[in-house]
């Protein structure tokens, strides 16, 4: 069993915080928008809970890196993972200006490392707060006053129209809201990648990154970091490979394959079943691991020794991940794929930035 000890209410230390808080932002907004009524918006649920992604589930091709066939993986006797990295985002509509939403967002990321059976912060957690709005709707004078008040304002309408949206000075309010959420997610990913790059530059111990690693060009085959993807909007492989993935039993992994993210770097990946599929759900307990592959393996010209070393790495990381199934992250609805270490980082960040 993993050595992580649950902590119900962690007390966050000092953090690296950028830009004005929600209270300071609302204070700066009130004299600019005389009819502003913030309570119904600022106290509401985050947009992340209200706006559902509409991406169509797809199947994508990939390049096999290992022979076909499921492989049983036994959990390690002791933890290999030294730390966990995760980020969160919270976005709320706080007002409307000329019919367009003003969205206040907080993004945060942290690395929590194992120390004497507990998790504690490695480096300062990163926090950034933004106000996303249409500069055209706010007007130059209001915009500059907000900047002078220390509010980090982002022009949502200056980042390209959403698919199918005709701009010409007029946006659908929900299109602006959706675009704002995309920009907030990019900012969160930026903080996460910064921390991952910092860890890999300073540490040799293994870092578990929640989510994929393909967007982080600072990670290489020698980097002590891997990503664990919990959602499967895209399934990789041909028909036979995907049938095999969906049929994986608890403690089995798929062969590794190469996923090409252009213009991002390609990554080696494989599926791993953490828990038996409940009620026949083929995605229950299924995660996908990502790691930066050696160049020779990725290009298909590695020798037997290099291929064997890569397979051994996939097995070792899989064993380390299987070990992290306990303790269970209940009552979180994602408990079947959410490692407790990642859950603990999320809990810590939520305490840091608030609801």
The predicted-structure confidence for 132-177, as pLDDT tens digits, reads as follows: 988 888 888 888 988 988 889 999 877 555 444 445 555 788 888 8
- Which whole number is the average pLDDT over 334-355? 91
**The pLDDT of residue 340 is above 90:** yes
Question: Where do the H-state alpha helices sit in the chain?
Answer: 22-29, 39-42, 47-50, 135-138, 140-148, 173-202, 239-246, 295-298, 304-323, 340-353
Confidence of residue 274 (pLDDT cuts 50, 70, 90): very high
- Which whole number is the average pLDDT over 179-192? 92
Residue 213 buriedness (CB in 10 A; 0-12 / 13-18 / 19+): buried
Confidence of residue 252 (pLDDT cuts 50, 70, 90): very high
Neighbours of 9 (CB within 10 A): 7
Whether 337 contacts 112, CB under 8 Å: no
Percentage of the residues of the chain whose pLDDT score is greater than 70 = 84
Q: What pLDDT was estimated at residue 11?
A: 42
Concatenated DSSP letters of 228-269 = EE---SEEES-HHHHHHHHTPPTTEEPPPEEE--SSSPPEEE
Q: Which residue has the tokens 């299987």?
A: 322
Instruction: Return the CA Rg of the chain.
Output: 22
User: Rounded CA gap, 69 and 254, in Å?
Assistant: 7
The total number of residues shown for the chain amounts to 355
Determine the distance from the C-alpha atom of residue 210 to the mean position of all C-alpha atoms in its chain, rounded to a whole number: 6
Q: What pLDDT was estimated at residue 3?
A: 37
Q: Residue 188 corresponds to which tokens in the numbers above?
A: 């969160």
Q: What pLDDT was estimated at residue 164?
A: 47
Mean pLDDT score across all residues of the chain: 84
Whether 206 contacts 188, CB under 8 Å: no
The residues pairing with 208 across neighbouring beta strands, listed in sequence order, are 84, 226
**The pLDDT of residue 83 is above 50:** yes
Phi and psi at 260, nearest 5°, equal -95, 110
């Amino acid at each position: 069993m993993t050595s992580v000890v649950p902590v119900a209410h962690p007390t966050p230390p000092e953090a690296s915080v950028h830009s004005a808080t929600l209270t300071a932002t609302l204070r700066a907004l009130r004299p600019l928008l005389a009819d502003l009524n913030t309570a119904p918006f600022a106290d509401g649920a985050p947009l992340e809970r209200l706006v559902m992604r509409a991406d169509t589930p797809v199947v994508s091709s990939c390049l096999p890196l290992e022979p076909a066939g499921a492989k049983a993986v036994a959990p390690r006797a002791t933890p290999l993972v030294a730390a966990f990295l995760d980020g969160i985002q919270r976005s709320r509509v706080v007002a409307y200006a000329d019919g367009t939403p003003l969205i206040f967002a907080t993004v945060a990321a942290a690395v929590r490392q194992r120390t004497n059976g507990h998790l504690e912060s490695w480096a300062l957690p990163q926090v950034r707060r933004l106000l996303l709005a249409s500069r055209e709707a706010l007007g130059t004078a209001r915009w500059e006053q907000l900047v002078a008040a220390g509010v980090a304002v982002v022009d949502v309408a200056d980042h390209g129209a959403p698919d199918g949206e005709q701009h010409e000075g007029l946006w659908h309010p929900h299109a602006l809201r959706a675009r704002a959420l995309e920009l907030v997610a990019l900012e969160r990913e930026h903080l996460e990648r910064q921390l991952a790059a910092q860890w890999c530059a300073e540490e040799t111990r293994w870092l578990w990154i929640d989510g994929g690693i393909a967007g982080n060009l600072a990670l290489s085959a020698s980097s002590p970091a891997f990503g664990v993807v919990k959602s499967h909007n895209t399934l990789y492989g041909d028909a036979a490979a995907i049938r095999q993935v969906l049929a994986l039993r608890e403690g089995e992994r798929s062969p590794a394959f190469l996923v090409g993210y252009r213009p991002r770097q390609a990554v080696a990946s494989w599926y791993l079943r953490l828990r038996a599929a409940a009620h026949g759900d083929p995605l229950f307990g299924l995660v996908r691991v990502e790691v930066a592959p050696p160049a020779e393996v990725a290009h298909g010209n590695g020798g037997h020794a290099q291929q064997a070393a890569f397979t051994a790495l996939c097995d070792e990381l899989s064993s380390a991940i299987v070990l992290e199934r306990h303790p269970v992250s209940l009552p979180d609805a994602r408990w079947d794929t959410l490692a407790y270490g990642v859950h603990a980082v999320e809990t810590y960040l939520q305490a840091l930035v608030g609801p």
